[in-house]
Structure 1
């Protein structure tokens, strides 16, 4: 955080300094008591604090509140700023803090590919710039303030992942970050427990258009069917389209698998470039296209971006290939699961499993609410269409995938289990040097994640 004096903060939020030194420098910010972990933290809260003893290790401590305390109950090292409305004061502070920096800020949303694209952009920019970014996939609304305050005088660019748990999440993130570049990676079916319908989920992603300034840049996957449903006529900024179609601004052609990654030709700005990106799957090519388009908008030369992408380190548990039991190949994709990422993973299994027995172990898709049955049926359609030799599902809802795939004509062997207890011994007999196993699940499903560990014989390549 760029240090801010108590006096400066007080004037910016139209507050009144009741107690404390006005020249004291604030070095951290919080809007929940549990976020206070260091001295010189400014806490915005309208809740009454009773246990001051617990806060003593963090003194001097700055409290901004509309609660009226008795002066006799206040600790001596407390700085108290009285405001009319705590929430309004908080957003005044956020707006002021963000306004101090005129740097490029990228916000990324989408059903899948958010974290990888964000990490790719960070990796490319870090060659020449001091970059701040969200940590891995930590993108909850409660973390936004900490990420905003991660920007300081040394920061030259920032990259933030903005997830959608419910409508308004992207819009709320925009209030913090005020991005200059927005990316929508793709839109599948996810978080329908809060967004209620697929259209509601699409509109929640479309909030990205609202949070960009009129001269901002929007990067979209032109071939994603649900992204195509967004009304782009309301956006006044620059739209960059990525994909394989000749109309795309950043276009990929001649996509092929190579050792440990993907190769393709990039067509943009009347030039053609050969690109290698670590990580398997055509979806990884789209992540790379979005990355190159974003850094190009920040004046990073395309050749520099391509060179840096080649050294990108793939994320753990995202289609990582390891040696499995009995000399088999194991594809660990237990980071998250949506129908979008499942389709991508099954396609990778098809390619890496050519000439071998292809086994798919799939867990339950979460955060679907009343849409659970329908989306799991859609997953079954994917399995039947793409095909595997053996399908193993873990969880009651995951069984719907197998049942529906069989109903549609799936010819492979199927096994459905309520939990993972019996899966390991089953696979122990199946897995050998002539088999490739995809294990696909959610990071919050401990049984699927633990199974992946048990099936792996060596560390990730």
Structure 2
């Protein structure tokens, strides 16, 4: 964070200093007590603090509040700025801090691929710039202030995820970041417990159009069906489309599996470039296309981006390849699960498992609310439609819906449903061998899926054959 004096903060938020020195420098910001980790933090809260003793090691602490404390209730080492409304004061501070920096900020949303795309962009830009970014997939609203404050006078670019847990999340993220470039990777079915319907989820993702600078750019997957449903007429900036169609601004062709990743040709304007990106699957090509389009907007050449993508490090638990038990091959894809990412994983299983027995171990899809049954049925339809699975195993009560629906549709390969990961392991121990490839697909919050994936691994990740 670029340091700010108490005196300047008081003026910015139209507050009144009622206790402490106005010369203290503020170096951190927070809007929840648990976010206060270091001294010289400005805490914006309208909640009453009771346990002052625990805050003594964090002195000096600057408290911005509209709470009326009694006389002598607050220790003398706490600096107090009284405001009429804490929320209004907080957003004045956010607006002021963001306005200090004239740097390009890229915001990314999407059902799948946003973390990988963000990491690719960061990796490419870091070759020549100081870049700040979202940490892995930690993209909740509660983390937004810390990411904003990670921008300082040396920062030259920033790239942040703007996730959707409920309607308004992308809009709120836009208040913090005010991006110049926005990316929607794709739109599947997720977070329906708050968005209620697929249409509501699409609208929530479409909030990206409203947060981008009017002179900025929006990067879209031109071939994603749900993204095509967004009304683009209200967007005044430049729309950049990526995909395989000849009409795309950044087009991929000649896509094939290479050693430990994907090889393809990218066509842009009148130029063609050969690209290799670590990580398996055609979806990884789309992630790379979005990243290339974004960095090109910032003046990075495709040739320079290609060099950086070659050294990109694949993210953990995202279709990583390992040696499994009984000399099998294991694809660990237990970071997250949606129908969008499940379809991508099944296609990778088919490509890497050509000529082998292919086993899919599928866990429960979360954050679906009343849509849980329908979306799990759609996952079962994917198993049947994509094909190639020789043995289907589901883990979890809701995941059983996947298996049942696949069978109802005509899936006639062996099917096993378990509630207990150990039982699944015992079965796999019996049926896998050196001619088997196992996909384990689940959610980061499922301890059973994480543990099963760990139990099935024998050695570190393997290169592709």
Question: Which interval holds the TM-score relative to the shorter structure?
Answer: over 0.9
Paired position in structure 2 for 1:164: 164
Paired position in structure 1 for 2:460: 459
**CA distance in 1: counterparts of 2:352 and 2:53, whole angstroms:** 60
**CA distance in 1: counterparts of 2:246 and 2:357, whole angstroms:** 37
Paired position in structure 2 for 1:235: 235
**CA distance in 1: counterparts of 2:175 and 2:354, whole angstroms:** 48
**CA distance in 2: counterparts of 1:115 and 1:263, whole angstroms:** 20
**CA distance in 1: counterparts of 2:386 and 2:73, whole angstroms:** 68
Paired position in structure 1 for 2:397: 396
- Post-superposition Cα deviations, 1:32-78, rounded to whole Å, max 9, x if no partner, equal 11111110000001112222111100001101011122342232221
User: Are 2:26 and 1:26 equivalent residues in the alignment?
Assistant: yes
Paired position in structure 2 for 1:252: 252
Alignment of 1:16-415 (within 5 A): 16-387=16-387, 388-415=389-416
- Post-superposition Cα deviations, 1:61-98, rounded to whole Å, max 9, x if no partner, equal 10101112234223222111111110000000000000
Paired position in structure 2 for 1:434: 435
How many residues align? The count is: 461
- Post-superposition Cα deviations, 1:250-297, rounded to whole Å, max 9, x if no partner, equal 000010001100000000021010100100000000000000000000
- Post-superposition Cα deviations, 1:97-129, rounded to whole Å, max 9, x if no partner, equal 000001010110000001000000000010000
Q: Secondary structure of 1:459's partner?
A: strand
Q: Secondary structure of 2:458's partner?
A: coil
Unaligned runs of 5+ in 2: none
Give the C-alpha shift of residue 302 in structure 1: 1.3
**CA distance in 2: counterparts of 1:59 and 1:199, whole angstroms:** 48
TM-score (norm. length: structure 2): 0.98
**CA distance in 2: counterparts of 1:171 and 1:317, whole angstroms:** 30
- Post-superposition Cα deviations, 1:233-252, rounded to whole Å, max 9, x if no partner, equal 10000110000000000000
Q: Secondary structure of 2:203's partner?
A: helix
Stretch moving more, 5-14 or 75-84: 75-84
TM-score (norm. length: structure 1): 0.99
**CA distance in 2: counterparts of 1:98 and 1:344, whole angstroms:** 37
Stretch moving more, 42-51 or 217-226: 42-51
**CA distance in 1: counterparts of 2:150 and 2:197, whole angstroms:** 35
Paired position in structure 2 for 1:421: 422
Unaligned runs of 5+ in 1: none
- Post-superposition Cα deviations, 1:314-370, rounded to whole Å, max 9, x if no partner, equal 000000000001111000000000000000000000011100100000001011111
**CA distance in 2: counterparts of 1:77 and 1:424, whole angstroms:** 57
Give the C-alpha shift of residue 409 in structure 1: 1.0
Q: Secondary structure of 2:253's partner?
A: strand
**CA distance in 1: counterparts of 2:127 and 2:242, whole angstroms:** 24
